[in-house]
């Protein structure tokens, strides 16, 4: 490969990263493994192009191929989700959310979203983020007993604060989102309903999670999570909002789109339109349930007591405050890659939280099924019970390598 000659340092690190991904179990709920076709589009000559504007309305010449690619991506995105309009240019989730807010809100306007510690995203109104600084953010949390979103509470907050926008969506919440109920509340107070479906868009596309369409006014998904595409995002909206969304993306908040990523989004959307992808989405959820069941059997506490989607939130509070990070580090030594995460009412901090978030999109892409989930659940439980045991970690690390060798990341991967 050319890169070995030009830049051996980076080349070596890329090789090491390939090996790390091959030999470890990736349970990070927001990550996945793309197909070779998506990788090829991402690494294509489109990297060399500038194309500010939209198809047939570009500021630079030489965009005939880019136009065709972007139109294909838009049409596939609309078809997959049954949306009226799609903008496929957003660089990623946070810039896309910034564009959505810019399209509908003025600084100071009130937004209502799920609190970060209860499973919402930074861009849903956290005070350290632009969304909590530019706008007046009010958060809802989850019910203390059930740890689920309480729609009566969302309605009470909405009626009280009369936000201009209500956000339905999650980044660390393992249950179904009732988009229809959110829409009813938004309609009652004349608010815009914005669904952030970044985590669950692959499940929606695969028919295993209810769709926010036609209930929401606007929706956003990143393309690299359960949707299994390149890093990026797509915004969907009703046709009547198309112009204001497009303007908010370009020229409002972005410059030239990353055309190589637009092409890779188109490829991933084509893959997501297949019957194979429906099976894949079904297996993601079946795997998450099997993993959750195994953890519960081993006495591990899960937020909400289980999962409906691709994600499991392990609550380590029964064992102490702030154990998320040391446990994630112990798991990593055993070859199991996760992230520490807050749990509802966490007395720990965002950097030192008391939970672990895990998810099954990447292991399902590798072809692992419920039997393997039971094995992995057992390993995780053993490490949680005995996090200082280095011999246990190295024994499991060896077993993880053997398991991973049986489920290699294949370059031509298409799920079947």
Residues in the site for ligand DSN, rule: CB under 6 A?
30, 93, 121, 171
- Of 164, 225, 265, 357, the active-site residue reads 225
Would you say 171 or 287 has its CB closer to ligand DSN? 171
User: Is 175 noted as a catalytic residue in this protein?
Assistant: no
Residue 193, classed as helix, strand or coil, is strand
Q: How far is the CB of 230 from ligand DSN (least distance, A)?
A: 15
For residues 197 and 297, the answer to whether their CB atoms sit within 8 Å is no
User: Is 294 noted as a catalytic residue in this protein?
Assistant: no
Distance, in Å, from the CA atom of 124 to the CA atom of 108, rounded to the nearest integer, reads 14
Would you say 46 or 219 has its CB closer to ligand DSN? 219
Distance, in Å, from the CA atom of 296 to the CA atom of 300, rounded to the nearest integer, reads 5
- Of 23, 31, 49, 50, the active-site residue reads 50
User: Is 196 noted as a catalytic residue in this protein?
Assistant: yes
- CA 139 to each of CA 104, 117, 166, 196, 256: distance values in angstroms, whole numbers, following the listed order: 19, 10, 10, 15, 34
- Of 171, 222, 360, 365, the active-site residue reads 222
Q: How many CB atoms lie within 10 A of CB 295?
A: 23
Would you say 158 or 205 has its CB closer to ligand DSN? 205
Would you say 80 or 358 has its CB closer to ligand DSN? 358
Between the two ends of the chain, the Cα-to-Cα distance in Å is 30
CA dihedral 339, 344, 347, 349 (to 10 degrees): 40
- Of 91, 140, 164, 196, the active-site residue reads 196
Q: How far is the CB of 122 from ligand DSN (least distance, A)?
A: 7
Q: How far is the CB of 66 from ligand DSN (least distance, A)?
A: 27
Which residue's CB comes closest to ligand DSN?
30
For residues 119 and 172, the answer to whether their CB atoms sit within 8 Å is yes
User: Is 345 noted as a catalytic residue in this protein?
Assistant: no
- CA 169 to each of CA 28, 120, 302: distance values in angstroms, whole numbers, following the listed order: 18, 7, 20
User: Is 228 noted as a catalytic residue in this protein?
Assistant: no
User: Is 15 noted as a catalytic residue in this protein?
Assistant: no
Q: How far is the CB of 228 from ligand DSN (least distance, A)?
A: 15
Would you say 121 or 175 has its CB closer to ligand DSN? 121
Strands 136-140 and 85-87, bridge-based pairing: unpaired
Q: How far is the CB of 359 from ligand DSN (least distance, A)?
A: 9
Distance, in Å, from the CA atom of 375 to the CA atom of 255, rounded to the nearest integer, reads 47
Q: In what order do the strands lie in the sheet with 339-341?
A: 311-315, 355-359, 339-341
Distance, in Å, from the CA atom of 215 to the CA atom of 291, rounded to the nearest integer, reads 32
Would you say 94 or 274 has its CB closer to ligand DSN? 94
- Of 23, 31, 52, 332, the active-site residue reads 52
Sequence-distant (≥ 6) Cβ neighbours of residue 6 within 8 angstroms: none
Q: How far is the CB of 198 from ligand DSN (least distance, A)?
A: 6
Radius of gyration over every alpha carbon of the chain, rounded to an integer in angstroms: 21
The catalytic site residues sit at: 50, 52, 196, 222, 225, 231
């Amino acid at each position: 490969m050319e890169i070995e000659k030009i830049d051996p340092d980076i080349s070596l690190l890329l090789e090491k990263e390939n090996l790390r991904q091959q030999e470890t179990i990736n349970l990070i709920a927001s990550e996945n493994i793309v197909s070779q076709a998506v990788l090829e589009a991402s690494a294509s000559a489109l990297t060399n192009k500038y194309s500010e504007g939209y198809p047939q309305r570009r500021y630079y010449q030489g965009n005939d191929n880019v136009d065709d690619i972007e139109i294909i991506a838009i049409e596939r995105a609309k078809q997959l989700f049954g949306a009226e309009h799609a903008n496929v240019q957003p660089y990623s989730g946070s810039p896309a959310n910034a564009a959505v807010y810019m399209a509908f809100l003025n600084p100071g306007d009130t937004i209502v979203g799920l609190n970060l510690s209860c499973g919402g995203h930074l861009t849903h109104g956290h005070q350290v983020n632009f969304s909590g600084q530019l706008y007046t953010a009010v958060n809802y949390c989850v019910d203390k007993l059930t740890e689920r979103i309480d729609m009566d509470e969302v309605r009470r907050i909405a009626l009280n604060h009369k936000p201009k926008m209500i956000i339905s969506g999650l980044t660390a919440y393992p249950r179904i989102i009732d988009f229809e109920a959110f829409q009813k509340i938004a309609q009652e107070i004349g608010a815009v309903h914005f669904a952030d479906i970044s985590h669950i868009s692959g499940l929606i596309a695969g028919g295993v999670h209810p769709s926010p369409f036609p209930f929401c006014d606007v929706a956003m998904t990143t393309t690299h999570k359960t949707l299994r595409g390149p890093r990026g995002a797509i915004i969907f909206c009703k046709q009547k909002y198309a112009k204001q969304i497009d303007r908010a993306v370009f020229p409002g908040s972005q410059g030239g789109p990353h055309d190589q990523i637009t092409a890779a989004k188109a490829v991933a959307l084509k893959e997501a339109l297949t019957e194979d992808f429906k099976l894949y989405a079904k297996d993601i959820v079946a795997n998450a349930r099997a993993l959750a069941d195994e953890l519960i059997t081993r006495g591990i506490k899960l937020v909400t007591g289980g999962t409906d989607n691709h994600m499991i939130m392990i609550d380590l509070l029964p064992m102490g405050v702030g154990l998320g990070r040391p446990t994630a580090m112990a798991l990593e030594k055993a070859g199991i890659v996760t992230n520490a995460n807050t749990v509802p009412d966490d007395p720990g901090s965002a950097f030192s939280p008391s939970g672990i978030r895990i998810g099954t999109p990447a292991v399902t892409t590798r072809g692992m099924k419920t039997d393997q989930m039971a094995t992995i659940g057992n390993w995780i439980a053993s490490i949680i019970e005995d996090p200082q045991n280095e011999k246990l970690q190295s024994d499991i690390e060896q077993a993880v390598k053997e398991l991973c060798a049986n489920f290699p990341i294949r370059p031509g991967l298409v799920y079947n």
